[in-house]
Amino acid sequence: MLFSCGKKTAPKPPPEVRPVPPRKVRVTLHFWGAELSFKIPRRKVDGRPLDGLKGFEIIRYGETIEGPKTRFRRKIWVSLSKEEFERLKELVYHDRSLRSGLRYRYVIRAVRGWRCVSDPAVSPTFAWHSPPKAPKKLEASAGDTLVSLRWTPVRLFLDGTELVEEDRLRYRIYRRFQDRPLSPLPELVSTTNYTDRDVVNEVTYCYRVAGVYEYFGSLIEGPKSPEACATPHDVTPPRPPEGLVAVPVEGGVLLRWRRNGEQDLWGYHVYRKVPGKPAERLTSTPIPEPKFLDTKIPGPGLYYYWVTAVDRSPRHNESAPSERVSVEILPKEED
């Protein structure tokens, strides 16, 4: 009689029915830790659609950067309900348990069932350090088509340790205006002041600043400062008009001058002065053309004239006076 013995094992699912690995794995660093995100698989290896997933197995690997090499491993399980699988396109996991001085990476597997697991997807590697504290005393002051910012330098990390290597520290400036949300400006700055010239007059701009620490190839950004706002204004007047001439004519004094070239020019004011008396403005509102006929001559005598240019800004900036010209009005000869 022949006997045989054997060990039963659980059947393995065919490789083709396993889910494909997660795609577009990204790591974004925040002052509170790392944000891991990836696309949720929708198909099996054989190309057929998935009807759901149990969840994701995430293994976080860490190792010391400086000193003796010590490695760490932590397994994380993120479950995924049927409703979440149907609703979500991307899974986001917040890791708030990072330690300073370590380099990390994540290995992610999609889990459909027992032994039905995808191949691994690997995240970019990053280094972690306690972020810098928020800058203090942010001030914003406005000029003509510019806003100037300044703040005090960051001296400490969030964990209370002193920031010694200041050459590793940069600052990221955030700006919002009108209905646009807060967004970062393109470049990091290394100083504690900045002039924003990409602004428009009469629009209010609001700013926040965050310290950014460069640590072994990773940029670790701290919390943002409180907000500071400023509104740039047009405070630049037009050039003084040039070429003013005054000629006595029948009925008064005719003034002419060269037209100003400013695009925001509103018009011109005309002034007259009699020796020994205060000057008076002859135009109630700016006149558009570079000429004026003074028909209200008080009588014979010496008169001085000058003109100014005015722009269309809310402040109606007025130029310095043109050169003065004089006209003498003689008494009329009696017949």
Digit-coded pLDDT (tens) for 102-140 = 999 999 999 999 889 999 999 999 999 999 999 999 999
Mean pLDDT score, 83-95: 97
Question: Per residue in 206-257, pLDDT tens?
Answer: 999 999 999 999 999 999 999 999 999 999 999 999 999 999 998 899 999 9
Question: Per residue in 273-326, pLDDT tens?
Answer: 999 899 999 999 999 999 999 999 988 999 999 999 999 998 899 999 999 999
**Would you state the pLDDT for residue 174?**
98
| Dihedral (CA of 203, 208, 214, 218) sign | negative
Tell the burial category of 197 from Cβ atoms under 10 Å away from its Cβ (0-12, 13-18, 19+).
exposed
Distance from chain centroid for Cα 180: 10
Cβ–Cβ under 8 Å, residues 196 and 149: yes
Helix (H, G, I), strand (E, B) or coil at 53: coil
Query: Cα–Cα–Cα angle for 111, 115, 121, nearest 5°?
Result: 45
Confidence of residue 2 (pLDDT cuts 50, 70, 90): very low
- The CA-based diameter of the chain, rounded to the nearest angstrom, is 162
**Residue whose pair of structure tokens reads 């200041």 in the numeric block:** 166
Q: How far is CA 167 from CA 31, 188, 194, in A?
A: 19, 13, 18
Within the chain, residue ranges assigned H as helices are 82-87
Cβ–Cβ under 8 Å, residues 170 and 184: no
**Would you state the pLDDT for residue 332?**
77
Supply the mean pLDDT for the chain: 93
Is 63's pLDDT higher than 70? Answer: yes
Pairwise CA distance, residues 28 & 92, whole Å = 10
Domains and CATH numbers, the chain: 15-128 (2.60.40.10), 136-230 (2.60.40.10), 245-329 (2.60.40.10)
* pTM exceeds 0.85, yes or no: no
